[in-house]
Amino acid sequence: MKKVLLIGGGAREHVLAETIKRSPQDVHLYVFAKTRNPGIMHLSEGYEVGDVMDMEAVKAYAERVRPNFAVIGPDDPIGAGLADELLKIGVESVAPFWKGAQLESSKSYTRNLLEKYGIPGNPKFGVFEDIAEAREYGNYLASLGIQLVVKADGLMGGKGVIVQGDHFDSIDEGIEFAEASIKKFGRVVIEEKLVGQEFSLMSFADGVHTVEMPVIQDHKRAFEGDTGPNTGGMGTYSDADHLLPFLTMEDVDQARAITRMVQEALQKENDEFFKGIMYGGFIAVRDGVRLIEYNARFGDPEAMNVLPLLQSDFVEICEAMIDRSLDQVAVMFEQKATVCKYVVPNGYPGSPVKGEKLTLPELPAGVRMYYASVDQQGDDLVLCGSRAIAFVGIGDTLEEAERLAESAASAVQGPVFYRKDIGTHALIQKRVDMMKEIRAA
């Protein structure tokens, strides 16, 4: 019998719990989470509610459980060094130590790492601690006809990046955000706006080897047609060939190569191995692929596209990441398409309703459901104010997967909404047409 400690209680952790329990090994699951997740509670042998940023509380629970290893889901505890703290009591984690977690927690760290080790993928960028210098660089890029991206140099829950033309218009607005970042984190990153199509490539990593998962596209904007404010992610899709309709195999190979070079650079820079998930946010542009950012954990919703397709033993993969033996494990995914649609409270993300009841449909075959920000109160399921429930359609084609996800999401009753266009032929075709136009220029 093996014990696994899972940190976190969102939909990402729900699918992680499901995947851990699907192992052919005899696995007992123990969870430490900020809130009660009804889906995870059903799968676990033990469940502790507490602050995942309270290192001593997490360690105390781990001392009681004595797991074989821990899987850390959210970015904040990873960025704060929870893996380092757990190792002090002899518990290894599927997550990087604090030094490696800077790959996500510091935008400047990642840009500088690529530059130092000559790794391709960086846009034009600058890192600034002085607002006057930041303004000067912004004006310089504008003089070249380049729009700006301004990135806070720290974790801000998916709200730390603003893009000119999408979130702000004038240089002054961008510099105002830059000044707030300098005040909060001590520095800001300003870089050129890249034109193309974004995609996510997550990799299992053991510090020496990487194994890539199917490619995914996320949808950050709240409303249909990619409008409205940024969110944590309204939904995602992946195709049955593990590519995307607007990507080439060469695009994915470039992204894979960048991840492997970054893994090697991290070991040289930090003198320690990166163990966990390297999640590259990339963008296909006219002349290749550029790196937008790295995350140091599974994406949410991206985990819900790939983990249900995983045919291999996830517990064995976790142990291989810890032992630096990923090259000795056969990692296989089903050749299926997936579409994930998040149902969210009315008013999300700015002023979401809370405490209202949801009524869920019977799930058709081919649909998975993952609980996020909801609570079970007696027989009722109620909204807690953030993304509520994710529905994932799994089919032989994108059309089938989208139809399945739509059938489930549309049947939820309550004060909620979701993006009907995610995974549809019309929206995907727009991306295909855009890339054809860019590459033909």
SS3 labels along 367-395? EEEEECCEEEECCEEEECCCCCEEEEEEE
pLDDT at residue 171 in the model: 87
How far is C-alpha 240 from the chain's CA centre?
A: 20
Longest CA pairwise span in the chain (Å): 63
- Cα separation, 280 vs 259, whole angstroms: 7
- Cα separation, 234 vs 251, whole angstroms: 25
Q: Which helix (H) or strand (E) holds 410?
A: none
> Does residue 288 share a domain with residue 419?
yes
**Which tens digits make up the pLDDT trace of 427-440?**
999 999 999 999 99
Q: Residue 156's pLDDT band (boundaries 50, 70, 90)?
A: low
CATH number of the domain that residue 150 is part of: 3.30.1490.20
> Does residue 173 share a domain with residue 283?
no
Over residues 389-418, the mean pLDDT reads 98
Do residues 309 and 334 make contact, with C-beta atoms less than 8 angstroms apart? Answer: yes
Nearest to 390 by CA among 409, 370, 373: 370
Beta strands in 206-306 (DSSP E): 210-212, 217-223, 227-238, 276-285, 288-295
Look at residue 159 and tell me whether its pLDDT is greater than 80: no
> Does residue 209 share a domain with residue 226?
yes
Query: Would you say residue 250 lies in a domain?
Result: yes
In this structure, the chain runs to a length of: 441
Over residues 140-162, the mean pLDDT reads 83
Look at residue 167 and tell me whether its pLDDT is greater than 90: no
> Does residue 202 share a domain with residue 175?
no
Over residues 329-351, the mean pLDDT reads 97
- CB count in 10 Å sphere of residue 376: 15
Q: Residue 153's pLDDT band (boundaries 50, 70, 90)?
A: confident
Tokens of 325: 């033996």
Do residues 41 and 108 make contact, with C-beta atoms less than 8 angstroms apart? Answer: no
> Does residue 222 share a domain with residue 180?
no
> Does residue 246 share a domain with residue 172?
no
pLDDT at residue 158 in the model: 60
Do residues 323 and 352 make contact, with C-beta atoms less than 8 angstroms apart? Answer: no
R_g of the chain, CA atoms, integer Å = 21
Buried b or exposed e, range 86-111, using 16+ CB within 10 angstroms:
beeeebbbbbbbbbbbbbbbbbbbbb
SS3 labels along 86-118? HHCCCCCEECCCHHHHHHHHCHHHHHHHHHHCC
SS3 labels along 31-98? EEECCCCHHHHHHCCEEEECCCCCHHHHHHHHHHHCCCEEEECCHHHHHCCHHHHHHCCCCCEECCCH
Instruction: Mark which of 166, 192, 218 sits at the end of a domain.
Output: 192
- CB count in 10 Å sphere of residue 131: 17
pLDDT at residue 336 in the model: 98
> Does residue 339 share a domain with residue 405?
yes
- Cα separation, 290 vs 245, whole angstroms: 18
Query: Would you say residue 237 lies in a domain?
Result: yes
> Does residue 169 share a domain with residue 303?
no
Q: Tell me the CB-side half-sphere exposure of residue 379, using CA atoms within 13 A.
A: 0
Look at residue 359 and tell me whether its pLDDT is greater than 70: yes
- Cα separation, 136 vs 88, whole angstroms: 46
Enter the pTM of the model. Answer: 0.96
**Which tens digits make up the pLDDT trace of 248-266?**
999 999 999 999 999 999 9
- Cα separation, 391 vs 358, whole angstroms: 14
Look at residue 360 and tell me whether its pLDDT is greater than 80: yes
What residues does 279 pair with on adjacent strands? Answer: 202, 295
Query: Would you say residue 435 lies in a domain?
Result: no
Q: Which domain holds residue 339?
A: 197-428
Look at residue 161 and tell me whether its pLDDT is greater than 90: no
Do residues 247 and 260 make contact, with C-beta atoms less than 8 angstroms apart? Answer: no
Instruction: Mark which of 176, 192, 208 sits at the end of a domain.
Output: 192
Tokens of 227: 């409008």
Q: Residue 155's pLDDT band (boundaries 50, 70, 90)?
A: confident
**Which tens digits make up the pLDDT trace of 185-235?**
899 999 999 999 999 999 999 999 999 999 999 999 999 999 998 899 999
> Does residue 390 share a domain with residue 320?
yes
> Does residue 397 share a domain with residue 249?
yes
Look at residue 425 and tell me whether its pLDDT is greater than 80: yes
195 Cβ contact partners less than 8 Å away, ≥ 6 residues apart: 285, 286, 438
- Cα separation, 350 vs 223, whole angstroms: 13
Look at residue 44 and tell me whether its pLDDT is greater than 70: yes
Look at residue 157 and tell me whether its pLDDT is greater than 80: no
Question: SS3 of 428, please?
Answer: helix
Over residues 273-292, the mean pLDDT reads 97
> Does residue 286 share a domain with residue 372?
yes
pLDDT at residue 27 in the model: 98
CATH number of the domain that residue 302 is part of: 3.30.470.20
Look at residue 391 and tell me whether its pLDDT is greater than 70: yes
Query: Would you say residue 216 lies in a domain?
Result: yes
The dihedral sign for the CA sequence 212, 254, 104, 155: negative
Do residues 217 and 427 make contact, with C-beta atoms less than 8 angstroms apart? Answer: no
How far is C-alpha 71 from the chain's CA centre?
A: 15
